[in-house]
Amino acid sequence: MANFCLVIQYDGTRYNGWQRQGNTSDTIQEKLENILAYLYGEPVELNGSGRTDAGVHALRQIANYRVPRIVSRYSCREILDYFNRYLPQDIRILSVIKAPDRFHARLSATSKTYEYRIDCGPIARVFDRKYLYRIEEPLNLPKMQEAAALMTGPHDFRSFCANRHMKKSTVRTIYDISFAEQDGVLSIRYRGDGFLYNMVRILTGTLIEVGLGDRLPSQVAAALEHQDRSLAGFTAPAQGLFLTEVEYPEELFS
């Protein structure tokens, strides 16, 4: 089998998330798989590095697919051009490379980075409003950083998962949470080994509540300890969230 890796960028505004669903055709995965089916003349399954929610964007989503070598007659450049010729303008393939046989976009990933963007300037931004969450009140950044420090490391993040009936492990490791502010936009970057359903958005909602003074940093520790969703903050809206990077072991592509 030939194994191809795709680097994908998309505006998730009008899509019902990454994952193919039975009740809608408006998913990123289905749009891509439809084009692959036309290209190869048979159904092709695409593996994404993660399932971004409805309305969430990606600067660098990673996916891979395998096809029998006998039908793998197209070059990476031809595959790239074919995708970008037929994809809607809010989805682009940035690159296509031949991947090692053992590469899997999700299972091989060592870390993922998400960025949440908040418009907290004095005047709401007009042209970026679909990609930012607007906060009118000032945010206490030092308090948010204090709370973020409690979130880093390995924890059971059940309190920060929207799936109340999660049967698999909810333990994840957040390697780093960093903050950057420029021109009235506050960006919060989360780098970890994986994230649960809505986890980044709930973490962000919790940090926003801390920044607004509606929640104490110490309450973050309590939420982690008691594993109760009601003890964490609200789920921040999808439009401010971007998948920015997925990392893999270098030896896979050496």
Same domain for 177 and 191? Answer: yes
What pLDDT sits at residue 254? Answer: 59
Residue 159: CB partners within 8 Å, gap ≥ 6? Answer: 223, 224, 226, 227, 228, 229, 231, 232
In this structure, are 102 and 138 located in the same domain?
no
pLDDT at 24: 73
- pLDDT at position 68 is 87
pLDDT at 253: 65
Same-domain pairing of 20 and 101: yes
Beta bridge partners of 45: none
Q: 190: which strand partners? A: 114, 177
Same domain, 62 and 144: no
Does the pLDDT value for residue 232 go beyond 80? yes
Residues 91 and 144 in one domain: no
241 in the same domain as 199: yes
Whether 9 and 57 map to the same domain: the answer is yes
Instruction: Tell me if 252 is assigned to some domain.
Output: no
Residues 98 and 115 in one domain: no
Enclosing domain of residue 219: 111-246
Name the DSSP letter for residue 163. Answer: -
Annotated active-site residue 53? The verdict is yes
56 falls within a domain = yes
Is the pLDDT at 58 greater than 90, yes or no?
yes
With respect to residue 149, please indicate whether it lies within any of the assigned structural domains: yes
Of the pLDDT bands very low, low, confident and very high (cuts 50, 70, 90), residue 168 is confident
Residue 193: predicted pLDDT: 96
The sign of the torsion formed by the CA atoms of 82, 71, 108, 253 equals negative
Active-site entry in 11, 26, 53, 101? 53
Backbone angles phi, psi at 248, to 5 degrees: -135, 160
Judgement on whether residues 96 and 136 belong to the same structural domain of the protein: no
Structure tokens that stand for 56 in this block: 């969430």
Q: Which residues contact 38 (CB under 8 A, 6 or more apart)?
A: 86
Residues 65 and 122 reside in one and the same domain = no
Answer yes or no: is pLDDT of 26 > 80.
yes
CATH of the domain at 42: 3.30.70.580
Residue 201: inside a domain: yes
3-class SS of residue 239: helix
Write out pLDDT tens, residues 180-192: 999 999 999 999 9
Q: Which of 41, 75, 107 is the last residue of a domain?
A: 107
Task: Report pLDDT digits (tens) over 70-124.
Answer: 677 899 999 999 999 999 999 999 999 999 999 999 999 999 999 999 999 999 9
CATH classification at residue 235:
3.30.70.660
Residues 51 and 172 in one domain: no
In whole angstroms, what is the distance from residue 108 CA to residue 89 CA? 29
Asked whether residue 253 is assigned to any structural domain, the reply reads: no
**Same domain flag for 101 and 227:** no
Q: Is the pTM of this model over 0.75?
A: yes
Looking at residue 166, what is its pLDDT? 78
Average pLDDT, the chain: 94
pLDDT of the residue at 223: 95
Tokens read off for 116: 């949440």
Looking at the structure of the chain, the number of domains it has is 2
